[in-house]
Amino acid sequence: MIPLWMTFIFCGVVSAIGDTYFLEQAKSLNPKVGRIKVPLIIFLWFYDQGKTQFSKFFVQMAAKFIRGSRASCRRYVPPTGVAVGMVFATLCCITAALIESKRLEIVKRNGLIDKPDARVPMTMFWLLPQFLLLGGLDGIREWSVSYLVIDQAPIAMMKYFAYFISSVFGIGMMGSALSVHVVGKINQAKSGISWFQSTINKSRLDKYYWVLAALSAANLLVYIVVASFYSYKDAIIEELVEPEYEETEMNLFQHDL
């Protein structure tokens, strides 16, 4: 199972950008709706909604599918869910890249490149799709991996596999910082200028997001190949239970708001 688990690492890399660069983007944008200033923590709520609703929708669709098929099909639901989560990771990075390109265009047009503390005249709600997709990634991934462990891990080793999976995603989170360093060094060697500068307005996060999107897509292909050769055991639990998440689970906005 270890080769299968290794493909999960990159999901952690993508998840980590919600706690870092997504937040920096939001801080630079206009938080007002009319005269009302909306707190950044609103994105935590949208993230939670994306996490809950997308994962519940996936479980409901999977439950309808297996009701009309052979019982043995149930074993393929969790690995399929992992693949769907990886699709969300790719879409999240693509969306973030497109929105960041738009933000940088407005920054350049208004002469704000050297004004890191100035608000960009662009509503922060442009970031809503990427937070929803990030929630979908984490929600579907967490549910699917949990069922995958229950179905496929040896009973005697199940609790250890749970710790192992947590460490795999933790490595992905730490790998996010490493990816910034590596990508920055590579593009600096090629162009002489790193995509990561002292301020978000001088940086090229859009290009970094495109790199993550490409790597996410490549990771999905690797996962499909590895998962295709894996021999799945019959599911231990035939019934699919919809996930329940606490709305305050993500620590995304425990920074300065």
Q: Would you state the torsion angle of the CA atoms of residues 50, 54, 56, 59, taken in this order, to the nearest 10 degrees?
A: -160
Looking at the domain assignment, is residue 43 inside a domain? yes
Looking at the domain assignment, is residue 96 inside a domain? yes
pTM: 0.88
**Distance separating alpha carbons of residues 69 and 91, to the nearest angstrom:** 30
pLDDT confidence of residue 75: 78
First to last CA, the chain: 41
The residue among 120, 125, 101 whose CA lies nearest residue 110 is: 120
Looking at the domain assignment, is residue 157 inside a domain? yes
Q: What is the CATH classification number for the domain harbouring 11? A: 1.20.1250.20
Considering its fold, how many domains does the chain have in total?
1
SS3 (DSSP) at 1 = coil
Q: Hunting for tokens 């329940």 — which residue is that?
A: 244
- Residue 253, Cβ density class (10 Å: 0-12 exposed, 13-18 middle, ≥19 buried): middle
Q: Which domain holds residue 16?
A: 2-228
Looking at the domain assignment, is residue 8 inside a domain? yes
Per-residue pLDDT of the chain (257 residues; tens, 9 = 90+): 677 878 888 999 999 999 889 999 999 999 999 889 999 999 999 999 999 999 999 999 888 877 766 556 777 888 999 999 999 999 999 999 999 999 999 999 999 999 988 999 999 999 999 999 999 999 999 889 888 877 777 776 667 776 777 787 788 888 888 899 899 999 888 888 889 998 999 999 999 999 999 999 999 999 999 998 887 777 666 566 666 666 544 444 344 44
Looking at the domain assignment, is residue 255 inside a domain? no
Helix and strand numbers (H, E) in the chain are: 8, 4
What DSSP assignment string belongs to 176-232? HHHHHHHHHHHHHHHHSS-S--SSTTTS-HHHHHHHHHHHHHHHHHHHHHHHHT--P
pLDDT confidence of residue 242: 67
Looking at the domain assignment, is residue 223 inside a domain? yes
What is the Cα gyration radius of the chain?
A: 20
Looking at the domain assignment, is residue 182 inside a domain? yes
Looking at the domain assignment, is residue 67 inside a domain? yes
